[in-house]
Amino acid sequence: MIVILLYLHFNMKNIQIHIQVSPDLYLKNPDSSDLGRNIVSKSIELINEMGFEDFTFKKLGLAISSPESSVYRYFKNKHMLLVYLTSWYWAWTEYRIVFATTNIESPKERLLKAINILTKPALKDNSFTHIDEVLLSEIIFSESIKAYHTKSVDEDNKKGYFKAYKRVVQRVSDIVLEIASDFKNPHMLISTVIEGSHQQNYFAKHLPSLTDNVKEQNAISNFYTELTLNFLKINN
């Protein structure tokens, strides 16, 4: 769910945005306290630095100078923390797509803007001081698959843990169907664009022989844009 709170002053530039994550993903809302926000902020830094496998709540507690037990007051385990982070990222991505496509009549232009957001590494968003979106996007590229490639994925899915991600896919799939109403696989196409671009970004940094033209600006985004337009038989 996206909750957008607007505080309009004389110049109408003061906008406060709040990304709401499902309460099922935490024991105590980390947005409710400085400690909670610090837990989220430092966990992003540590997971990006050491990887999810080596990340522990004990290391997180040491990094924030707080007992390990304090972290467990917010999250049941590190898997739930990872799901929370990925859910926050996808809710934030949905907000970006909504803002980028509002008042644009052409479905093709809306699709191009959505693909641009989905396939490019994130830039810093100063609306959220405790979240480093650049580091979080790196985690999404390299670690988010571990949130749902688990033995408990079916149970987690029934609990709604992946709703934010599925909303993004649905939103962009709806744009695809505006362009090609008889297209049979919009969700398959969009989830392929998302996961494929994430893999290619990861390959570019760690396994470059598995990708191409990684030094060319926007190469990955351009590839998936062209792939989508060609697949839908839309003239560039």
- Give the length of the chain: 236
Tens of pLDDT, residues 92-149: 999 999 999 999 999 999 999 999 999 988 888 887 888 999 999 999 999 989 999 9
Which residues, in sequence order, are bridge partners of residue 5? 16
Asked whether the beta carbons of 211 and 200 are under 8 A apart, the reply is yes
Which residues, in sequence order, are bridge partners of residue 3? 18
How far apart (Å, rounded) are the C-alpha atoms in residues 187 and 189?
5
Which residues, in sequence order, are bridge partners of residue 33? none
Ranges 26-40, 186-200, 211-225: which has the least confidence: 211-225
How far apart (Å, rounded) are the C-alpha atoms in residues 230 and 191?
17
Q: Which two tokens stand for residue 165?
A: 């991600």
Question: What is the reported pLDDT for 127?
Answer: 79
**How remote is the C-alpha of 166 from its chain's centroid?**
11
* pLDDT above 80: residue 18: no
213: alpha, beta or left, given left = phi > 0 and alpha = psi -120 to 50?
Answer: left
Dihedrals φ, ψ of 4, to 5°? -120, 115
How much of the chain exceeds pLDDT 70, in percent? 92
